[in-house]
Amino acid sequence: MPYASRKHVKRLDPRGPLVFDARALGPGSVRTEERAVPAPADLRVELVSIPEGADLHLHVQLEGVAEGTLVTATASAPLSGECARCLGPVTSATKVRLQELFAYEAPDAGADADGYVQDGDLLDLEPALRDALVLDLPLAPLCSGDCPGLCVECGVRLADAGAGHGHAQPGAEPPPWPARDGPTPAGAPVPELRKER
């Protein structure tokens, strides 16, 4: 490793797809950039992800402020995953907006525990973008807003099976609650237990 791994000191590659150059941005000056970059890996939650390498579209505004650079960005990307109800494929898209201050490198690196720091003129949008995108991923994605899910009897996708799908009930219905040991609905008489003689 050519560089000591001191906290907050990470030399950025100016050609990195999510590295932006804030050079010549004095306080009050603004520059915007549009980029389409391949989505980095591991943008995922349990059931849905932004596929690695998918087109991630960025609109980034860099604004010079006294403390550093204020970044306002919107990012949009495709999503692919699994429906939380029927396990069918889900494809959709996400769009997030984020705003973060990238401060000039603090003279005492230990003082600034959180917040983003510029590396000279460069700033790496990836961690902020990753947080914003992953936080926005749906935990329970649905293939359609009214997905009826799976049949509890046979497991077929109800959306495929049609409205008439059903199963004849074999035998009598089970009692609404266990006669003795289970919880009794409030207000219902509690069956008395016979004492053994």
Binding site for Zn ion (CB under 5 A): 83, 85-86, 88, 143, 147, 151, 153-154
For Zn ion, the closer of residues 173 and 196 by Cβ is 173
For Zn ion, the closer of residues 101 and 151 by Cβ is 151
Smallest distance, Zn ion to C-beta of residue 172, A: 20
Task: Tell me the backbone φ, ψ of residue 72, rounded to 5 degrees.
Answer: -120, 120
Residue 71 Rama label (left phi>0; alpha psi -120 to 50; beta): beta
Closest CA relative to residue 133, chosen from 82, 102, 100, 97 = 97
Smallest distance, Zn ion to C-beta of residue 95, A: 22
Smallest distance, Zn ion to C-beta of residue 49, A: 17
Task: Tell me the backbone φ, ψ of residue 105, rounded to 5 degrees.
Answer: -50, 125
Residue with tokens 């009826």: 148
The DSSP code sequence of 38-84 is: EPPS--B-SSEE--TT-EEEEEEEEEEETTEEEEEEEEEEEEEEE-T
DSSP letter (8 states) at residue 175: P
For Zn ion, the closer of residues 145 and 183 by Cβ is 145
For Zn ion, the closer of residues 45 and 96 by Cβ is 45
For Zn ion, the closer of residues 146 and 192 by Cβ is 146
For Zn ion, the closer of residues 70 and 87 by Cβ is 87
Cα–Cα distance, 187 to 178 (Å, whole number): 16
Smallest distance, Zn ion to C-beta of residue 62, A: 41
| Alpha helices for the chain (secondary structure H) | 126-136, 158-161
Smallest distance, Zn ion to C-beta of residue 81, A: 11
Smallest distance, Zn ion to C-beta of residue 48, A: 13
